[in-house]
Amino acid sequence: MVIDLSKNNSLLNHWVAELRDVQVQNDRMRFRRNIERIGEVAAYELSKTMRFNTVNVTTPLGVAATPLLEQQPVLATILRAGLPLHQGMLNYFDKADNAFISAYRKHHPDGSFEISLEYLSCPDLNNRILILCDPMLATGASLVETIQAILKTQTPAQIHIVVTIASQKGIEHVEKELGADIPIWCAAIDPILNDKSYIVPGLGDAGDLAFGTKMQS
């Protein structure tokens, strides 16, 4: 199930435009903040699908019956590019537990690459709602390997994927490997991957734009 948040006209589309714009995206603080804003909107929209219980809240003048989340989710992100999106989600799910995954493309001299998954730190996910944040869903390989690694030892009640920009090919790969019942929340969907498996038109390397260039491994 894919939820494309760009289909409804909103300020979110302005933030995506700035993320893509080569005249704007070199402002790292603004780049990070725009991804964070998208995480906040995604958290708000995603929360509408969660279960709530009515709780009586005592005020200075009486009691207010208020629907509150039945269960706090676990917010997970893939280091390092996912940190701003994760922070945006955490700004709204401010009582959530958190998980962090190190997964990256390990490039080979022939131009091919494999996904290296080296580190996973998370609380008990059994019967919990897991929300996995990653700004770019390109091939979908890192997301699939991450979720498959989690599912070897944990059984979340539900999994959500939140991304800034997804490729159609990446969405199809995730659905093929994990099934179509995992909601994928996107701020935009692009049609093409280039020969280096980057999203086109995309926005470039989200990690480098947010935090500076890194040495290739």
Local confidence band at 92 (pLDDT 50, 70, 90 cut-offs)? very high
What's this model's pTM, rounded to 2 decimal places?
A: 0.90
Instruction: Tell me the sheet residues that pair with 188.
Output: 165
Parallel, antiparallel, or unpaired for β 158-167 and 136-137? parallel
Lowest mean pLDDT among 3-7, 79-83, 112-116: 112-116
pLDDT digits (tens, 9 = 90+) for 95-117: 999 999 886 555 546 655 555 66
From first CA to last CA, the distance across the chain in angstroms is 34
Q: Where are the domains of the chain?
A: 2-51+70-211
Residue type, 78: I
Look up the CATH architecture of domain 2-51+70-211: 3-Layer(aba) Sandwich (3.40)
Q: What is the pLDDT of residues 147-156, one digit of tens each?
A: 998 898 889 9
Name the maximum alpha-carbon separation found in the chain: 70
